[in-house]
Amino acid sequence: MIGINNQRKHWLKLNRGRCYIGMLMVLVTPFQASQASDDTITYPNGAHVAVHLSYDDALPSQLEHAVPTLDQYNIKGTFYLLPGSETLNNEQQVEAWKKAAQNGHELGNHTVFHPCSSKGSDRNWVKPYASLEQRSPEWMAAEVKMANTFLFLLDGQKSRTFTPPCFETMTGSGDYLAAVRPLVAGVYGQTLPKPEEVFWSAHNVSGKKLINYIKHSAANPQTKVIGIKFHGVGGDYLSTSDKAHLELVKYLAKHRDKYWVTTYKNIVDYIHQQ
Ligand SMILES: [Zn+2]
């Protein structure tokens, strides 16, 4: 069981009204607080820490390197696909995504057009039609719903988690997360407050650094969920080498007693059941 500690109560207070689940937990806090006797969670394999690896933007190098490595070590990843990406306009690669889903990998929602803020000199790559400033929360909810439909046609799943593009959620008329939360199983990195849940968007780092991030995070007894987010693996952009990725996957496969390594949806569902 997850105990409710002071830190979470504080977080829930801070987030009251922002999140439906948060509100629900605030409402039941008096009951849970009287039931809470410890502050640990035990995952299905007996581990106290869950680890999830995720991959954004449906990049070709993920199909070429990440999926085969994960499959080789029987580790399930979460792939936040974009319907408009090149791998979803290629028959063979579409089949490869379908097969990945059949193998237990999660196909996550990452919107349709990847709206990000277009403010700032480093945002020339944001197309006018994908500028978050031009959107509204209602529009974002409609887009996430459309992406859900698209992904359902690929994997037959009716529930999946969501990563906000660029981790930005402020539209021209307010934050969109509250409008999107009811449409998804969970929002990346936002199931538990820090440091109970931590994640790192890694690129251009060694396998040793990736492994050390897991070890270091898991050393904090409060930490229950650890995520590492990738983009390119052995290619494309924001890339991590195939070798570094392989070293991390090997490490995780070797320490299955210590970590519950699975999709983000499996972790979110399990935590919500507790
Ligand atoms: Zn992205």
Same domain, 170 and 69: yes
> Does 50 share its domain with 31?
no
Residues 78, 2 share a domain: no
Helices 6-15 and 20-35 meet at what angle, rounded to 10?
Answer: 150
Q: Are residues 111 and 171 in the same domain?
A: yes
Q: Which residues surround ligand 1, an ion (CB under 5 A)?
A: 56-57, 165
Ligand 1 geometric centre to CA of 33 (Å): 38
Q: What is the whole-number distance in angstroms between the Cα of residue 4 and the centre of ligand 1? A: 33
In the reported structure, the alpha carbon of residue 172 is separated from the centroid of ligand 1 by a whole-number distance in angstroms of 20
Please give the chain's pLDDT, 274 residues, in tens.
444 344 444 443 434 333 333 344 433 333 343 333 357 899 999 999 999 999 999 999 999 999 999 999 999 999 999 998 999 999 999 999 999 999 999 999 999 999 999 998 899 999 999 999 999 999 999 999 999 999 999 999 999 999 999 999 999 999 999 999 999 999 999 999 999 999 999 999 999 999 999 999 999 999 999 999 999 999 999 999 999 999 999 999 999 999 999 999 999 999 999 8
| Residue 35 sits in the same domain as residue 54 | no
- Whole-number Å distance, alpha carbon 30 to ligand 1 midpoint, is 39
Query: 20, exposed or middle or buried, with CB in 10 Å at 0-12, 13-18, 19+?
Result: exposed
Instruction: Name the domain count of the chain.
Output: 2
CA-CA distance, 80 to 73, in Å (whole number)?
A: 21
Report how far ligand 1's centroid is from the alpha carbon of 169 (Å): 13
Domain span including residue 61: 42-273
Q: Are 57 and 21 in a shared domain? A: no
Half-sphere exposure of 122 (CA within 13 A, CB side): 1
**Together in a domain, 212 and 267:** yes
Q: How far is the CA of 195 from the centre of ligand 1 (A)?
A: 24
Report CA(113)–ligand 1 centroid distance (Å).
Answer: 10
